Amino acid sequence: MYLSSIVFCVYYFKFKVLDFNNKPPIIILTPGKTGSSSVYFTLKKVFKMYNVFHIHYLTLNSINNAKQNHLVSDRKSLPLHLIVSELLLNKIKNYKGTLKIITILREPVSRSISSFFQNIDFHKNSLEESNLIINESKALEIIERQISSSVDEVNNWMNLEIKENFNIDVYENKFPNKKYIIFKNKNVELLLLKVEDLDSVFENATKEFFNLRKGLSLINYNIGSEKYYSNQYQTIKNKIKLSDENIEKIFSSDYILHFYKNDVKKLTDKYKNN
């Protein structure tokens, strides 16, 4: 907690001198583990004329709840994105210029697995055995519990972070065949796309969203399969099977039917516990 306080102070003074009028903000606002790190580092490298931020929450209650969860977890410290979220929320309150936001979605089962490994510190005391080996049976139990609430979690996230914050309903329009959609409301412009389509649509999406002559090429970053837990990550991905109850709950949800309608059969077959 002491270290978090020092980091907060450093970033507090950084935010004090940020000038959004001369260097407008781009906010990558997504649920965790949706390929957002790759988008963030791509924009950060290319767009020197913008302030680029990468966060998961932009409402005060969500930020405070996430902070509390981290402080009582095994890691007992705050990740940088929560510190940035809190400072950014205060900074944009009086900003009148165009606020560009990018939101990336992901198929909920894959996201739950990836999120578990990204936040392994939450469970490391009960999961890790010798030599950083993860107890797979315990990991599967935790992941399966998280998967059961994954659709409700992302729907709640979109209601709080997108609809209530910016009065944008992502379900209002049919998700188009071009596999990304741009919403506009007052000074807010929101680009929404799916991580599964990033490689194929990122160039066209950024060309339209930022009004560029040529869209951007995505730089892949933070890939789970390249980390120390990569072997177990792949093993658990292959072992995950869902109960009929979870299959019905997840793949008949509004979220899936709106954004993954054409993939329902493929996803059901992949995760069904035959």
Q: Which residues of the chain have pLDDT under 50?
A: 2, 225
Q: What is the pTM of this model?
A: 0.90
Q: What is the DSSP letter of 244?
A: H
pLDDT, residue 2, reads: 46
43 within 8 A of 52, measured Cβ to Cβ: yes
Query: Helix, strand, or coil here: 109?
Result: helix
Question: Rounded to an integer, what distance in angstroms lies between the CA atom of residue 5 and that of residue 155?
Answer: 32
Question: Rounded to an integer, what distance in angstroms lies between the CA atom of residue 274 and that of residue 271?
Answer: 9
pLDDT, residue 147, reads: 87
CB-facing half-sphere around the CA of 232: CA atoms within 13 A: 19
Question: Rounded to an integer, what distance in angstroms lies between the CA atom of residue 128 and that of residue 132?
Answer: 6
**Strand pairing class (188-194; 99-105):** parallel
35 within 8 A of 115, measured Cβ to Cβ: no
Question: Rounded to an integer, what distance in angstroms lies between the CA atom of residue 212 and that of residue 206?
Answer: 7
pLDDT, residue 63, reads: 95
